[in-house]
Amino acid sequence: MRKPFIAGNWKMNMTAATGAALIKELAPLVANANCDVALCVPAILIPAMTEAAKGTNIKIGAENIHWAASGAYTGEISADMLKEYGVEYAIIGHSERRQYFGETDEMVNKRTLTALANGITPIVCVGETLEEREGGVTEKVLDKQLEIGLKDVEDVAKIVIAYEPVWAIGTGKTATDEQAQETIAYIRKKIGEIFCPKCAEKVVIQYGGSMNAKNCKGLMAQPDIDGGLIGGASLKLDFATIVNFDK
């Protein structure tokens, strides 16, 4: 009952020219996908990528969204700015934002509520560091990220969660199918406790962290894994192979 959702996260890669060229090549390859498809791109590329993806099934998303409607927030992007280009998704609380830009769970919460209030689907990222996993506190870390990050959300089914173990991002070290399934099942259980078990069944939960054309099938075969948030592999045609994981 949950539609699979494969999204790319270009991070600080690509230009308007290389991005548009990639979308042109990807479009026919993903046209018959059985899942929802999105590429989350740097804010400055949103107008050109929206244009490049016009008439295709590739939706363009943002990599962040600010909580204020407007104001003195140098360097930030508001919901209205995104909506003007028909942006439907925004990544929120990526571990790189948490790690390098001081993003807190409270900020994640404010951004999430703002996205929802503006009809933009938040892709809320959660995940533990290697130290936390080895210290046996993964569940505790996820509890806090979910409890604070999703506070006051009215309809949790409108949210996408991306479970991204920090130790698997850009490292080539993927969580095993079983590790990813086990942790994502835990996340679903926790969402069930915060909201309701039935609501948790409706939430699309992606895996992210060195997901690629080779390991996508095994990960997507897991019962609680509904999709992927793809970094490196979304910068090339491998992204189409991942989108077509079921073929």
Active-site positions? Answer: 94, 164
Name the one range near ligand 13P by CB under 6 A: 43-51, 72-80, 193-201, 230-238. 230-238
- C-alpha 120/C-alpha 141 separation (Å) is 26
Between CA 212 and CA 216 the distance in angstroms is 6
Which range binds ligand 13P by CB under 6 A, 22-30, 134-142, 192-200, 229-237?
A: 229-237
Long-range contacts, stretch 22-27, CB < 8 angstroms, 24+ apart? 22/235, 22/236, 22/237, 23/49, 23/52, 23/53, 23/56, 23/58, 24/52, 25/237, 26/58, 26/237, 26/239, 26/240, 27/53, 27/56, 27/58
Which residue of this chain has its Cβ atom nearest to ligand 13P in the complex?
Answer: 231
Among 146, 159, 108, residue whose Cα is nearest residue 2: 159
169 touches ligand 13P (CB under 6 A): yes
Residue number, 37 or 230, with CB nearest to ligand 13P? 230
State which residue, 97 or 188, has the beta carbon closest to ligand 13P.
Answer: 97
Q: 19, 93, 149, 209: which one contacts ligand 13P (CB under 6 A)?
A: 209
Candidates 47, 86, 135, 170; binder of ligand 13P (CB under 6 A) is 170
Angstrom distance (rounded) from CA 39 to CA 229: 9
User: Does residue 26 touch ligand 13P according to CB under 6 A?
Assistant: no
Give 184 or 195: the residue with its C-beta nearer to ligand 13P. Answer: 184
Determine if 232 is a binding residue for ligand 13P (CB under 6 A): yes
Count CA within 13 A, CB hemisphere, residue 124: 32
**Which residues of the shown chain bind ligand 13P in the complex (CB under 6 A)?**
9, 94, 164, 169-170, 208-211, 229-233
